[in-house]
Chain A
Amino acid sequence: MTIQADNMLPAALREQWPYPPRFASVNGWRMHYIDEGEGDPVVLLHGNPTWGFLYRDIIGPLVRSGRRVIVPDMIGFGLSEKPVREQAHTLDGHSANLTALMRQLDLSKITLVCHDWGGPTGLSFAMSNKGRIRALALMSTWAWPPPAAEFHTRIFPWRMMHAPLVGPYFLGRHKALAGRGVYLSVVDREKFARTARAAYEAVLPDPATRLLTWVWPRWIPLDQEARAFERFKWLEQELSRSKFPTMIIWGREDEVFDAVTFSNRFKQMIPHAEGPHLVTGRHFLQEDSGPEIADLIRSFLDRLDERQVAQ
């Protein structure tokens, strides 16, 4: 099983991703994940178009602080199976994929860390499996029906990029999101290009493997007729009632889900949430502030542990 990771990742990047790959059959698909350390589980969820590598600076510190860290690659990304039909990808289907993995590993007391589409998929799992959840951490994501970010309503560049036929051309043939798209959404672009960009491009080597990069944008509800409108409405209602300890972390420079609008809306929905803690970062804030985010999550969990002991 290590052959796949070794073959796909450039040699220079393997040092940054030393974790033995594990695979589970979930909901009919082959899902890659890593499972490191011991303790209460922390599950780190990525979005479009990244994979577990996004959390490489966060995994080690959490493991060393006595946590079990599980990082799945969404079906369609990373080292997981990549379906070749658009119809294989639905919001509910991806939540069910995660649910299958969490149940197979029989995880409970989960701290769920959600970024981008890891938010709607992970939070749908959390709100339908509340008995398995301990806490939530939210980063550059959303969990409500329209209005989405103003960015997502614009033709240039967002709607144009994934328009019919244009999506398969820009994001498939030309890997616009997996390559330059991530590059444009970090603060330190020179460092990203030098140390990380190849890891995101390597796991999506061909146009067909990049299918989900243009399918996910089409699932962002822009009006009440959108496919996922009802799911997001439910998610908003459930999350608003949620009592789970929650932390909000956001990138100061985030231009996709800007901090003022999005982190504040989460804060209104979940008034007891800690934060928002602002760190250096655009949408892919883990690239610029991985160690700082790890420290925020670690100290958040330490405080929960202390409260638990005190009770």
Chain B
Amino acid sequence: MTEVTVIEKADLDGKRLAFGLAEDRIGHYPEFREFFSRTFGLEYKGLAEPGFVRAPSGIVYTLIFIGRSGEPFPSGVEINAVVDALEPIDSETLDRDLWAILRWMIGGVGGAWTVEDFDRTGRLYRVAAASAN
């Protein structure tokens, strides 16, 4: 599996959320906020529920959107892996999945933002996950 797919819900019973990434300013480039709003129907759901995606490893990730008074929603987002409650997560798997999720995000934002530029940036800074692209 190489793709990231949006899924409806995840079974959280016996699971914990393992922290992946946090972003305080999702609207720095507003097209990113629009992407998440469009993809997860945030205009209707608001803060009611997080988004879920399945990453290439098969692990499900939650996207928890954050609101900040006086700013368009969402103002931020956290990405967490849904893992067995008492089990550690393999950091290389987490890193590859985060890479894939960001790549999927860039492709979804579109316009001037291209996965080719994302891959080039990853290679420039020698990010291990970039070598697969």
Contacts and interface: CB of A to CB of B under 8 A. Distances in A.
Contact of B32 (A164, A170, A173, A218): A164
Given A155-B113, A156-B120, A163 B28 contact: yes
Contacts of B25: 86, 164, 218
B121 A169 contact: no
B125 A160 contact: no
A160 B95 contact: no
Most interface-central of A87, A161, A169, A180 (chain B CB within 10 A): A169
Contacts of A157: 117, 120-121, 124-125
Contacts of B120: 156-157
Nearest to A87: B24
Nearest to A176: B125
Interface of B: 21-29, 32-33, 77, 79, 95, 98-99, 102, 105-106, 112-114, 117-118, 120-122, 124-127
B99 A218 contact: no
Interface in A44-81: none
In the A-B complex, list the 8 residue pairs whose CB atoms are closest, starting with the nearest: A86-B24, A176-B125, A164-B32, A156-B117, A160-B121, A157-B121, A165-B23, A164-B26
Given A155-B113, A170-B125, A180-B125, A85 B118 contact: no
A167 B122 CA distance: 11
A156 B115 CA distance: 11
Interface residues of A, number: 26
A30 interface: no
B113 A160 contact: yes
Most interface-central of A166, A170, A172 (chain B CB within 10 A): A166
Given A170-B127, A173-B21, A165 B105 contact: yes
